[in-house]
Amino acid sequence: MELFYGVLSLIAALYIALVLVSVYVVHQYPRNPVNDTPDWGRIIDETIPAQNGGFLEVWRIEPEGKSKGIVLFAHGWGRNRGRMVGRARIFGEWGFTAVIHSARDHGGSSRCKFMNAVKFAEDIESVMDWIGKPVLLYGHSAGSAGAIIAAGRNQGRVKILFLEASYAYTKEALRSLYRWFNTFFGVFFAPAILFLMDILYRNNIDSVSPAHIAPGIRIPVMLIHGEKDARFPLRFAQKLKNSFVSGQAELFVAKGADHSDSSCTPGYREAVRNFLDRHPVHD
């Protein structure tokens, strides 16, 4: 019996150790920067201050002629400013100024331990401070979570909000993401990881869920979601849309698209342009 309890204790200790390692790893990896650079307009490549003494790499791309407004782009987890160049190029063709940054701990920006949606929002706010004018805000995946947090905390500084590949509730999204990564990992490790993350963030994970922030947003919102998104299923976007005040948000479903390729699908340009035409902005 003593041997049994000894083995059981060893297994429990090993499990806890693996969970602790996993909590660290999921905050650090993967890092998959995209090698894409702006090829239009007048390009300004800057390094600007971030919170806690950090810094952010930022591109500002001015269009030919008078700008129709400034669109700030926020990439998703593990990516960098290069991920948003394709989307920014479309807005640049329409005459908008595009501003694209790499969040801390991503791309060439400064390191930062335990990045999360709130820190993504802090970086968005740092770029907004640098811009000094109201913006149209476009976030993808984790960047969309940061975008809605920033929009909720900065009423009047964001004119229009674009949320691509977003989710409604943080814990639900993380469980789905872990299962997408590996079914075994998602089933056996995700519950303990989320438990420890709740301790790390003082039971604050779901308090910044997009669905909790949505009712307070009072600007036009466009949700963009891939029909075949395996990381954050389409029902997450539908749930988030229903969290906004009735008529506040619209949802464009990109047919056949997965998590990151909605902007490459037929109908994307037309849907976004139509949304902008119905919600004109004035610089």
Question: What are the structural domain ranges in the chain?
Answer: 1-30+170-202, 33-166+209-278
pLDDT at 5: 46
At residue 228, φ and ψ (nearest 5 deg) are -110, 25
Q: How far apart are CA 54 and CA 147, in angstroms?
A: 19
Residues 6+ apart with CB under 8 A from 10: none
pLDDT of residue 24: 54
pLDDT at 109: 96
62 Rama class: left (phi>0) / alpha (psi -120 to 50) / beta: beta
Q: What is the pLDDT of residue 179?
A: 85
Count of all residues that appear for the chain in the document = 283
| pLDDT band (50, 70, 90) for residue 192 | confident
Mean pLDDT of 238-242: 98
Q: Which CATH architecture has domain 33-166+209-278?
A: 3-Layer(aba) Sandwich (3.40)
Rounded to an integer, the average pLDDT of 60-85 is 96
Determine what percent of the chain is predicted with pLDDT higher than 90: 70
Q: Tell me which of 114 and 184 has the higher pLDDT.
A: 114
* 21 — pLDDT class (breaks 50, 70, 90): low
pLDDT of residue 20: 52
pTM: 0.90
- Give the residue among 82, 101, 95 at the shortest CA–CA distance from 40: 95
Say yes or no to pLDDT of 4 above 90: no
